[in-house]
Amino acid sequence: MQQALPYIDTDTENNSVIVLYGDVPLISADTLQQLIALANAKSVSILTLHTENPTGLGRIIRDESNSIIAIVEDKDASVDFNLVMTEDLELVELQGSGEENVFTRNQMDEMLDLAEKGVSELVTLQKQAILDADQTSLSDLNNLADSFKRL
């Protein structure tokens, strides 16, 4: 970044800079164009990814308002905490380990609270997606039935 800094036009108001690591060859041009379109010229925009298995990847740490508060590389994570919850927020599986550091009961409670919030949000989104899919299917069936009535 330091080598590129002298070439960045900071006097232009709508100027964007994209920084990519060498190990991200699968990001498509379309994805980058969408990032640029959504980016705010007066702030930093970060492209993130949700994956089922983030092993080896860095972690984006967010606060309650979904603002990024830290980026932690997998190798630098001091605590690893994984869980599976039901829709009713009952624990199915809980796994936590101090990779590099210990963690307190209060920190564990904070991680559980954050996990409950995330699971609740995911369940809400999943239910809405199912409702949307059901509505689309019902609409499609009604349209099909109407087309037969016209025959």
**Distances in whole angstroms, Cα of residue 143 to Cα of each of 120, 129, 131, 137, 138:** 35, 21, 18, 10, 9
Looking at residue 88, its pLDDT comes to: 92
CA trace torsion 129, 130, 133, 134 (10° rounding): -150
Whole-Å CA distances, 11 to 4, 8, 16, 19, 150? 15, 9, 12, 19, 64
Domain locations in the chain? 78-151
Model pLDDT for residues 50-83, shown as the tens digit of each residue: 777 777 777 788 888 888 887 777 666 667 778 8
Instruction: Give the pLDDT score at 136.
Output: 64
- Higher pLDDT pick, 88 / 15: 88
**Predicted pLDDT of residue 24:** 66
Secondary structure (DSSP) of 49-75: ---S--TTS-EEEE-TTS-EEEEE-GG
Convert the pLDDT of each residue in 6-55 to its tens digit.
Answer: 777 777 766 677 777 666 667 788 888 888 887 766 667 777 777 777 77
Is 4 within 8 Å of 16 (Cβ atoms)? no
Residue 148: pLDDT over 80: no
Q: Is the pTM of this model over 0.95?
A: no
Tell me the per-residue pLDDT of 111-142, one tens digit each, with 9 for 90 and over: 899 889 888 888 888 888 777 766 766 676 67
